[in-house]
Amino acid sequence: MNLTRRLALLSCSATLAVGLVACSSSSTDSEATEASEAESTVVVYSGRDEDLVDPLIERIGGEIEVDYSGNTNAQAAKILEEGDATPADVFYGQDAGALGALDEAGLLAPLPQDILELVPEQYRGADGTWVATSARARVLAYNSDEVEAADLPTGIDGLLDPRWRGQVGYAPTNASFQSFVTALRVQRGEDGAREWLEAFAANEPVAFEGNGPLMTAVNDGQVAAGLTNHYYWYPFKAENGDDAPIELHYFEPGDPGALVNVAGAGVLAASDNQEAAQDFVRSLLTEESQMYFANETAEYPVIDGVTSDYDLPPLTELGASDIDLGRLASLEETQKLLTEVGMI
């Protein structure tokens, strides 16, 4: 082979090698960029409604991907099934029971102290793996045309009186009602909870598909009262005017009906995106986010110094039941009990 041809071949080989290296380098850079973008995107499994969370996500900004494929209980169950393979970085749920279940399974990572210190001790996980982002109180909504305030019971046992037969509404499939039943089980034991539920069922309460229809039924006099959360009443009253007969009644401190439950968030231990996930949880506890909860949903803010446009009684003055919210994790047992007594 003459020298000219050998040089030509070497030149072609060098050019090809450079091209392959360039292509390989470009491919590697592209993959690295995609990996970096994937890692910076926070994946949130939300058990709260899209209509509520999306405006909040827009306020927070950043690379956030939200999975709304189920309610709080369904999303927690999905993470329990996925285990360490879950793509979720953050779980954002409607009640403490689901957070407690994930914590109990060892699927949540400890949160930094600066996050924990933003929230009162009773509204965060005992081992520091989750924090409340807003709070809500169980209440008895009642129709003031049908019932005098002085005749309202001081606790849930009063609803077992025959005078309330067929006059109390409830939403048995709602997560908040089921959390109340779980709290009842924790406070009174399995036998005590079953006894109350059977007596309540025998008094012919009226079941509704959700708290919205329940509020309408109370206001219209279809039932005299209904077990619900406080934040359904405030916008309903605002929309229907001061003349609407529906009012709120809080049970006495320590009663299971005085439960103050929370929505909250935790970072998944399996997440490779811990810092960004923690930042998302922090963003739920900023003054702006807390004002959003207080003013848009009438939920209680959980950080100091934030007030609501609604005339909410101070959270510290509510007759909350004395219970560790993390103990509301046994949802499956609650649903089994509700099935056995014929409520779901």
CB 244 within 8 A of CB 82: no
Answer yes or no: is pLDDT of 27 > 50.
Answer: no
- Specify the 3-state DSSP secondary structure of 339: helix
Per-residue pLDDT reduced to its tens digit, 247-296: 999 999 889 999 999 999 999 999 999 999 999 999 999 999 999 999 99
pTM equals 0.81
Nearest-10 Cα torsion for 18, 22, 28, 33: 160
Per-residue pLDDT reduced to its tens digit, 149-166: 999 999 999 999 999 999
List of domains in the chain: 41-134+261-313 (3.40.190.10), 136-259+334-340 (3.40.190.10)
Residue partners of 125: CB distance under 8 A and separation at least 6: 99, 100, 103, 108, 131, 266, 326
Residue type, 13: S
Name the average pLDDT for the chain: 88
| Angle at CA of residue 340, ends 335 and 341, nearest 5° | 100
Q: Which residues pair with 25 in a beta bridge?
A: none
- CA 171: distance to chain centroid? 17
Q: What percent of the chain has pLDDT over 90?
A: 74
pLDDT, position 30: 45
Q: Which residues pair with 132 in a beta bridge?
A: 264
The lowest-confidence range among 48-52, 66-70, 317-321 is 317-321
Q: Which two tokens stand for residue 236?
A: 């309903």
Residue partners of 335: CB distance under 8 A and separation at least 6: 178, 344
pLDDT, position 248: 96
pLDDT band at 319 (very low <50, low <70, confident <90, very high): low
- The closest of 13, 100, 37, 17 to 330, measured between CA atoms, is 100
- The closest of 225, 219, 230, 233 to 200, measured between CA atoms, is 225
pLDDT, position 24: 45
pLDDT, position 254: 87
Query: In the chain, where do the E strands start and end?
Result: 42-46, 64-67, 90-93, 130-143, 168-170, 206-207, 225-229, 246-249, 260-267
β-strand pairing of 206-207 with 90-93 = unpaired
How far, in Å, CA of 94 to CA of 182, rounded? 15
pLDDT, position 175: 80
pLDDT, position 28: 46
Per-residue pLDDT reduced to its tens digit, 90-137: 999 988 988 998 999 999 999 999 999 999 998 999 999 999 999 999
CB 281 within 8 A of CB 265: yes
